[in-house]
Chain A
């Protein structure tokens, strides 16, 4: 199972805890994880990426294995540690302000 860590505001919106476990079929990519996440928790539709273009919202970041993957292609395969569930896929609200 893939482990996804959500920011606090989205945990409340989706009614879940800090970590969500997802089953992802096929290649494990940003897109496949977000597709599975939105299918399981429709309240998150539009909060991470545009509903239609699927473009990542400007103040959302994706981290895993101590790397910032935000600018990677949404169809690039994520590290094996994420695919195996050993490491979580982190969804972060960008730090802003002072």
Chain B
């Protein structure tokens, strides 16, 4: 019988939530790595028992954890993230040059075919790769040494590479997103990169449609349509139908188009989910209501999904890596909040239940669909 394993990273540890395919009754295990910030936990699509977790701390730095048994036991893998060559500077908040410094791993993206191969997106923004299950790491310096890199400036969370999307039909094609530099695309498995931000407009920059500098919060694709990408930008929900060559706005009737998460229904490539957040100064949902918005038309027309979600006195946020979808039919949708709740829908978003309500603030949510 099929089942799901939800991997939750929080400010104070990781949790593993499991259920059968009905997704009604849950077992909650954790905290793993109690007391540490877990920015991301993700499983290998090629070997579901192989999990990776980014464990970090302002005191003790970065640790990369690996599990070979689906999260029951863990071992510390490699944590030697050294930028290659001279690092130079990026742009600081006040516009001054600032040295490049490694702080943490924000996002782990395992290869679609090789459980030993993983990418890591880090702060300050760079892409690393490991070919031995996380034991050793090498920077892919073509990104950080891009000619525009000295102009990259941090978003509120830092200069972070937070999103890595591998084209499932062509593993040499990779998309990444950096706050606040924007989207970059590689056609040669990460050796070289091109900005992919045409159509974005950001009024936080003197040149609103500059080639780079956009605070992209998240991008998502459906495996069947790798040329169609969806984006939640700082403000604006966007869509590309030409492999990120160009973008158009699809915010439509959303109550606010600020937010962090965006994801695509695994069975319906035109069904998209976002969680609108009031604004960049109010990092909580608007009107005290936690509402997921769903478009079944690939954007522009959005409907509020509220059944089972708090509709008064709710002031939580949902961070960029904290929404995911499973591969079952109907599609399961999951997200975690800054208030420590993890919500699940087993019917594509029509109704929601809290799997757990009182975890530490949730940083990331991923799901594995187990056969």
A-facing residues in B43-65 (Cβ within 8 Å): 57-63
User: Whole-angstrom distance from the CB of A45 to the nearest CB of chain B?
Assistant: 7
Residues of A within 8 A of B63 (CB): 13, 43, 46-47
* B60 contacts A12, C-beta separation under 8 Å: no
Main secondary structure of the interface of A (DSSP, over half): loop
Main secondary structure of the interface of B (DSSP, over half): loop
Q: In this assembly, does B297 line the interface, its C-beta being within 8 Å of a C-beta of chain A? A: no
The docked-state distance in angstroms from the alpha carbon of A96 to that of B60 is 13
* B80 contacts A51, C-beta separation under 8 Å: yes
The tally of residues in A whose CB lies under 8 Å from a CB in B reads 20
User: Whole-angstrom distance from the CB of B24 to the nearest CB of chain A?
Assistant: 33
* A57 contacts B59, C-beta separation under 8 Å: yes
The docked-state distance in angstroms from the alpha carbon of A51 to that of B78 is 11
The docked-state distance in angstroms from the alpha carbon of A59 to that of B60 is 8
* B35 contacts A59, C-beta separation under 8 Å: no
Residues of B within 8 A of A52 (CB): 82
* A43 contacts B36, C-beta separation under 8 Å: no
The tally of residues in B whose CB lies under 8 Å from a CB in A reads 15
User: Whole-angstrom distance from the CB of A33 to the nearest CB of chain B?
Assistant: 17
* B60 contacts A10, C-beta separation under 8 Å: yes
* B80 contacts A46, C-beta separation under 8 Å: yes
User: Whole-angstrom distance from the CB of A65 to the nearest CB of chain B?
Assistant: 23
Q: In this assembly, does B34 line the interface, its C-beta being within 8 Å of a C-beta of chain A? A: yes
Q: In this assembly, does A71 line the interface, its C-beta being within 8 Å of a C-beta of chain B? A: no
User: Whole-angstrom distance from the CB of A90 to the nearest CB of chain B?
Assistant: 15
A7, A43, A52, A94 pick with most chain B CB within 10 angstroms: A43
From known contacts A9-B36, A12-B33, infer whether A43 and B76 are also in contact, taking CB-CB under 8 Å: yes
Q: In this assembly, does B79 line the interface, its C-beta being within 8 Å of a C-beta of chain A? A: yes
Q: In this assembly, does A74 line the interface, its C-beta being within 8 Å of a C-beta of chain B? A: no
Identity of the chain B residue whose Cβ is nearest the Cβ of A49 in the assembled complex: B61
From known contacts A43-B76, A51-B80, A52-B82, infer whether A12 and B61 are also in contact, taking CB-CB under 8 Å: no
30 A-B interface contacts by CB (under 8 A): A7-B59, A9-B35, A9-B57, A9-B59, A9-B60, A12-B34, A13-B60, A13-B76, A43-B63, A43-B76, A46-B61, A46-B62, A46-B63, A46-B79, A46-B80, A47-B60, A47-B61, A47-B63, A48-B60, A51-B79, A52-B82, A57-B59, A59-B58, A59-B59, A60-B59, A93-B59, A93-B60, A94-B59, A96-B58, A96-B59
Not counting A46-B63, A93-B59, a sample of 8 additional A-B residue pairs whose C-beta atoms are within 8 angstroms of each other reads A13-B76, A45-B79, A46-B79, A47-B61, A47-B63, A51-B79, A59-B59, A93-B60
